[in-house]
């Protein structure tokens, strides 16, 4: 399990997923990161911080945003 | 195992030998030459669009736009026999009223030189040609009139018959072929980008281009493109764009003004700009690996150049030197400096390599200070230099050595006392090159996009290391769809390449060993054949044979893989019977079939098998031995008769004073 902090760049309500800029990644974002179901759409706002967890660190598709905060 | 000559093989088994240990310092960043730039000129010229080139007679050619009232002239400089004392400040205005925003290009082929510019209306592209190494030029010839304003030009020679002009206008790249002096019609490429902010071309086997700009999604990208000439791409067709560097839309990072050359490998310089708070514009450079095709698109991670020029940096070369030029600067670097041979002054060394690390400490005589002088040594530039080690003996065929081990210097020190001085060089294997690289952005390989081996090749290339498969596992094969894995894999900011590669290799059962700056990937199986025998014709001097748990951490004898929708496991029944089950469970969601999961479990269990033996034997050095090799060990007192062992680590000690030349080999199970 690996946890990183990032900044929300964009949110797709249809897929309940977000684009995240991880701390330290100046030029590149990670797209399509699932947002935990218990986080409301209205809370996933561009510019807010998010904590992202990778239950399987070797698989980028396993990422999930489990905390959103300012 | 490195193949040795019959004489060297025989010599290393003898009781009495004369060691031959060779040590050479090489100007290499991993597998590629390290260019050390010396600035030859600092002028006061305004920074405008410019170009550079090297004529067949070695003259350095430069061209730039110079403001003349409200217009711009094309100014030209030719420096014959350029050197540190040459005059680089002499310019001649040769064309009036050119466009300053359309770019300039210089192309050379032996004594032929072409100078490309665009007139002040930004659409008519002219070429002035020379047949005397750029000393004189003929009248300008109209090559093409673009349908939109030209923003970038590049011109390349295939040979004396065929040349191609590439230019960008309104985000489209066009090509115009000149055949035996006759210009053809312009044709747009078949690729799509939104904007072009830089364009460069080099002919070798195909027409190889670098393009900077943005795509439809607003990402800033450095692409490579190939206009085929029948090598990697069919003649007259375009290969799809391949991305070298990508900055996401909104990240405020952009790329522009790219140049390309091939003094040894493909090299490029482009501008990277960040327009957020703390903005910067930095020339950034990178190169490909040796002995690969442009199509392979394997580039070192770009790094910044300590040069300031907002219109890019031109790159050209002669046979011996590479040159960088800007309107107000000239730099030169030797392409392939001679190796510095330390062999005669080598006093002692210790070298160590294992599965994922390695160190070398070499002490050389430096009584006269030669190695720390810039004239006869490397001054203070030892850091990062490659040390190529040769292990061998004096045989009936002369001095022979295996030279597959290379180390890169991390630090050096001088010890001095009355009458003598020694230089101590501390160096590491390529694993350290991978450890030093730290990600500054997210690098993502989406699921299904590429294979593990292609990810591995890309990651290794970022440190300048070439990857070669050598009896690799079926999971790494691209021809076995039942096993081949196309994982979702990402490297996060601050992660090292070493960490990323080790994480990637968890998906397969293969091991990595380095020969100089090439990574060889080989599967490790219980069926691996022995490549050499110790304890029979090659004596063992001292030994310790250890079996069982090597550390306090328990070794698993049962491995379970929780794959995505599948389960796999492997068991060591003998160990389970002796100690009951010690289980390791791993979540590996990149694996999707039971076959993949079972294979992966077997690979992890094999690590237990290797770790469960921890023998050390001391021998006369085997010059070609490598980690991961399987060898036979015979020692009757330990009950070993041609027992198979896998080489886990090798330590070499060489000391001319004692004298001493021996090898301690750490062996594991197979």
B578-622 pLDDT, tens digit each: 989 999 999 988 888 898 889 889 888 988 888 888 899 999 999
CA distance A16 to chain B (A): 19
* A13 C-beta neighbours (distance < 10 Å), count: 10
Token pair of A32, please? 């399509």
| Alpha carbons within 13 A on the beta-carbon side of A11 | 20
What is chain B's mean pLDDT, rounded? 94
Which of B492, B496, B500, B587 has the most A C-beta neighbours within 10 Å, making it the best mutation to test the interface with A? B492
Tens digit of each residue's pLDDT (9 = 90 or more) over B57-77 = 999 999 999 999 999 999 999
Question: Which of B250, B492, B503 faces A4 most closely, judged by CB atoms?
Answer: B492
Residue B451: is its pLDDT beyond 90?
no
Residue A60: is its pLDDT beyond 90?
no
Name the interface residues of A facing B (CB cutoff 8 Å).
2, 4, 9, 21-30, 55-62
Which of B218, B219, B442, B565 has the most A C-beta neighbours within 10 Å, making it the best mutation to test the interface with A? B442
CATH of the domain at A50: 2.40.50.140
Least confident of B49-53, B88-92, B368-372: B368-372
Cβ atoms of B185 and B204 closer than 8 Å: no
- Residues contacting residue B645 through CB under 8 Å, at least 6 positions apart: B613, B615, B630, B631, B632, B633, B667, B668, B669, B670
Q: How far is CA B569 from the centre of its chain?
A: 38
Residues in chain A, total: 70
Contact residues on chain A for B591, CB-CB shorter than 8 A: none
Yes or no, beta carbons of A24 and B493 under 8 Å apart: yes
User: B524 or B120, which is more confident?
Assistant: B120
Residue B308: is its pLDDT beyond 60?
yes
Rounded percentage of chain B residues whose pLDDT exceeds 70: 99
Yes or no, beta carbons of A24 and B494 under 8 Å apart: yes
Yes or no, beta carbons of B444 and A30 under 8 Å apart: yes
State the DSSP H helix or E strand holding residue B121, giving kind and residue range, or none if neither: none
Q: Using CA coordinates, name the residue in chain B closest to A31.
A: B444
Yes or no, beta carbons of A28 and B442 under 8 Å apart: yes
pLDDT on residue B485 = 76
Would an 8 Å CB–CB cutoff place B449 in contact with chain A?
A: no
Least confident of A17-21, B290-294, B375-379: B375-379
Contact residues on chain B for A60, CB-CB shorter than 8 A: 444-446, 488-490
Tens digit of each residue's pLDDT (9 = 90 or more) over B467-524 = 999 988 877 765 555 567 788 888 889 999 999 999 888 788 889 999 999 999 998 8
Q: How far is CA B326 from the centre of its chain?
A: 26
Of B667, B659, B558, B665, which is closest to residue B608 (Cα–Cα)?
Answer: B558
pLDDT on residue B489 = 87
Would an 8 Å CB–CB cutoff place B270 in contact with chain A?
A: no
Token pair 């091991």 is found at: B511
CA distance B570 to chain A (A): 20
Yes or no, beta carbons of B442 and A58 under 8 Å apart: no
- Cα separation, B426 vs B556, in Å, equals 37
Residue B666: is its pLDDT beyond 90?
yes
Question: Which of A9, A25, A61 faces B447 most closely, judged by CB atoms?
Answer: A61
Q: Using CA coordinates, name the residue in chain A closest to B587.
A: A56
Yes or no, beta carbons of B251 and A60 under 8 Å apart: no
Would an 8 Å CB–CB cutoff place B608 in contact with chain A?
A: no
Would an 8 Å CB–CB cutoff place B253 in contact with chain A?
A: yes
User: B471 or A37, which is more confident?
Assistant: A37
CA distance B312 to chain A (A): 20
Of B567, B620, B574, which is closest to residue B597 (Cα–Cα)?
Answer: B567
Q: Is the peptide bond before B325 cis (omega within 30 degrees of 0)?
A: no
Q: B176-189: string of b/e by CB count within 10 Å (b at 16+)?
A: bbbeeeebeebeeb
Q: What single string gives the DSSP state of each residue in B484-515? A: -----EEE-TT-BHHHHHHHHHTTS-EEEEEE
Question: Which of A55, A58, A62 faces B507 most closely, judged by CB atoms?
Answer: A58
pLDDT on residue B478 = 57
Q: Using CA coordinates, name the residue in chain B closest to A19.
A: B248
How far is the first Cα of chain B from the last one, in angstroms, to the nearest whole number? 16
Domain span holding position A6: 2-69
Q: Using CA coordinates, name the residue in chain A closest to B452.
A: A58
Would an 8 Å CB–CB cutoff place B616 in contact with chain A?
A: no
Would an 8 Å CB–CB cutoff place B279 in contact with chain A?
A: no
Q: Is the peptide bond before B659 cis (omega within 30 degrees of 0)?
A: yes
Q: Using CA coordinates, name the residue in chain A closest to B440.
A: A25
Residues in chain B, total: 670
Tens digit of each residue's pLDDT (9 = 90 or more) over B537-554 = 999 999 999 888 777 678
Tens digit of each residue's pLDDT (9 = 90 or more) over B103-119 = 999 999 999 999 999 99
Yes or no, beta carbons of A27 and B253 under 8 Å apart: yes
Residue B390: is its pLDDT beyond 90?
yes
Question: B299 forms bridges with which residues in the sheet?
Answer: B288
Which of B255, B445, B448, B490 has the most A C-beta neighbours within 10 Å, making it the best mutation to test the interface with A? B490
User: B419 or B67, which is more confident?
Assistant: B67
**Which of the 8 DSSP states describes residue B279?**
-
Question: Which of B442, B446, B506 faces A58 most closely, judged by CB atoms?
Answer: B506
CA distance B485 to chain A (A): 12
Would an 8 Å CB–CB cutoff place B581 in contact with chain A?
A: no
Yes or no, beta carbons of B589 and A24 under 8 Å apart: no
State the average pLDDT over residues B519-540: 94
Rounded percentage of chain B residues whose pLDDT exceeds 90: 83
Cβ atoms of B588 and B561 closer than 8 Å: yes
Token pair of B182, please? 């006759």
pLDDT on residue B475 = 73
pTM for this prediction: 0.93
Yes or no, beta carbons of A28 and B248 under 8 Å apart: yes
pLDDT on residue B668 = 92
Yes or no, beta carbons of A30 and B442 under 8 Å apart: yes
Yes or no, beta carbons of A56 and B590 under 8 Å apart: yes
Would an 8 Å CB–CB cutoff place B589 in contact with chain A?
A: yes
Q: B297-318: string of b/e by CB count within 10 Å (b at 16+)?
A: bbbbbbeebebebebbbbbbbb
Q: Using CA coordinates, name the residue in chain B closest to A3.
A: B492
Which of A25, A33, A34, A55 has the most B C-beta neighbours within 10 Å, making it the best mutation to test the interface with B? A25
CA distance B435 to chain A (A): 18
Q: Using CA coordinates, name the residue in chain A closest to B505.
A: A58
Residue B531: is its pLDDT beyond 60?
yes
Token pair 């054949």 is found at: B529
Gyration radius from chain A CA atoms: 11
Contact residues on chain B for A6, CB-CB shorter than 8 A: none
Q: How confident is the model at residue B374 (pLDDT cuts 50, 70, 90)?
A: confident
Contact residues on chain B for A29, CB-CB shorter than 8 A: 248, 251, 442
The domain tally of chain A equals 1
- Cα separation, B398 vs B394, in Å, equals 5
pLDDT on residue B592 = 87
State the average pLDDT over residues A3-15: 96
pLDDT on residue B514 = 97
How far is the first Cα of chain A from the last one, in angstroms, to the nearest whole number? 24
Yes or no, beta carbons of A29 and B442 under 8 Å apart: yes
* B137 C-beta neighbours (distance < 10 Å), count: 18
pLDDT on residue B600 = 85
């Amino acid at each position: 399990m690996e946890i990183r902090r990032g900044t929300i760049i964009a949110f797709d309500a249809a897929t309940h997923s977000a684009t995240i800029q991880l701390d330290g990644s100046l030029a590149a974002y990670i797209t399509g990161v699932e947002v935990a179901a218990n986080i409301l759409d209205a809370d996933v706002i561009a510019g807010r911080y998010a904590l992202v967890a990778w239950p399987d660190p070797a698989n980028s598709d396993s990422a999930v945003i489990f905390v959103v905060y300012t | 195992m490195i193949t040795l000559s019959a004489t060297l093989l025989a010599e290393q088994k003898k009781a009495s030998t004369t060691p031959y240990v060779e040590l050479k310092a090489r100007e290499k960043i991993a597998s590629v030459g390290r260019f050390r730039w010396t600035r030859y000129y600092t002028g006061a010229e305004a920074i405008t669009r410019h170009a550079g080139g090297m004529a067949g007679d070695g003259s350095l050619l430069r061209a730039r736009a110079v403001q003349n009232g409200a217009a711009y002239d094309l100014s030209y400089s030719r420096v014959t026999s350029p050197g540190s004392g040459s005059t680089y400040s002499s310019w001649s205005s040769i064309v009036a009223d050119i466009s300053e925003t359309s770019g300039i290009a210089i192309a050379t082929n032996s004594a032929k030189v072409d100078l490309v510019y665009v007139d002040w209306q930004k659409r008519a592209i002219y070429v002035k040609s020379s047949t005397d190494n750029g000393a004189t030029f003929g009248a300008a010839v109209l090559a093409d009139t673009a349908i939109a304003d030209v923003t970038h030009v590049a011109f390349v020679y295939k040979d004396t018959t065929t040349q191609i002009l590439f230019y960008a206008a309104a985000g489209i790249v066009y090509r115009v072929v000149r055949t035996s002096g006759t210009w053809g019609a312009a044709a747009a490429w078949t690729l799509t980008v939104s904007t072009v902010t830089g364009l460069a071309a080099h002919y070798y086997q195909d027409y190889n281009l670098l393009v900077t700009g943005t795509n439809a999604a607003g990402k800033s990208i450095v692409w490579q493109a190939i206009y085929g000439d029948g090598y990697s791409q069919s003649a007259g067709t375009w290969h799809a764009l391949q991305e070298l560097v990508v900055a996401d839309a909104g990240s405020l990072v952009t790329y522009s003004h790219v140049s390309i050359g091939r003094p040894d490998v493909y090299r490029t310089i482009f501008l990277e700009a960040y327009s957020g708070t703390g903005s910067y514009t930095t020339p950034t450079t990178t190169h490909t690996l040796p002995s690969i095709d442009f199509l392979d698109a394997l580039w070192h991670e770009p790094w910044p150049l300590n040069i300031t020029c907002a219109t890019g940096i031109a790159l050209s070369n002669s046979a011996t030197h590479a040159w960088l030029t800007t309107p107000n600067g000239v730099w030169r670097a030797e392409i392939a400096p001679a190796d510095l041979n330390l062999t005669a002054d080598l006093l002692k060394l210790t070298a160590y390599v294992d599965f994922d690390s390695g160190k070398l400490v070499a002490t050389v005589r430096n009584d006269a200070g030669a190695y720390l002088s810039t004239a006869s040594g490397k001054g203070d530039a030892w850091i990062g230099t490659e040390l190529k080690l040769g292990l061998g003996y004096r045989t009936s065929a002369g001095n022979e050595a295996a030279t597959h081990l290379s180390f890169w210097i991390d630090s050096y020190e001088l010890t001095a006392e009355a009458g003598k001085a020694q230089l101590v060089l501390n160096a590491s294997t390529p694993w350290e090159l991978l450890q030093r690289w730290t990600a500054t952005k997210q690098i993502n390989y989406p699921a299904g996009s590429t294979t593990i081996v292609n990810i591995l090749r890309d990651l290794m290339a970022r440190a300048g290391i070439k990857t070669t498969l050598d009896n690799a596992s079926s999971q790494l094969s691209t021809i076995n769809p039942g096993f081949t894995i196309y994982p979702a894999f990402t490297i996060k900011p601050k992660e090292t390449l070493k960490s990323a590669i080790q994480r990637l290799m968890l998906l397969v059962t293969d091991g990595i060993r380095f020969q100089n700056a090439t990574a060889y990937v080989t599967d490790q199986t219980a069926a691996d054949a022995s490549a050499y025998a110790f304890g029979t014709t090659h004596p063992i001097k001292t030994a310790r044979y250890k079996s069982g748990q090597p550390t306090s951490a328990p070794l698993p004898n049962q491995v379970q893989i929780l794959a995505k929708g599948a389960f796999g496991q492997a068991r060591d029944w003998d160990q389970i019977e002796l100690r009951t089950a010690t289980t390791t469970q791993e979540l590996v969601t990149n694996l999707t079939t039971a076959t993949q999961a079972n294979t992966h479990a077997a690979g992890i269990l094999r690590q237990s098998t290797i770790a469960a033996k921890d023998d050390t034997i001391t021998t006369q050095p085997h010059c070609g031995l490598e980690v991961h090799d399987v060898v036979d060990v015979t020692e009757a007192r330990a009950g070993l008769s041609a027992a198979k062992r896998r080489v886990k680590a090798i330590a070499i000690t060489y000391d001319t004073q004692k004298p001493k030349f021996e090898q301690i080999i750490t062996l594991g199970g197979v």
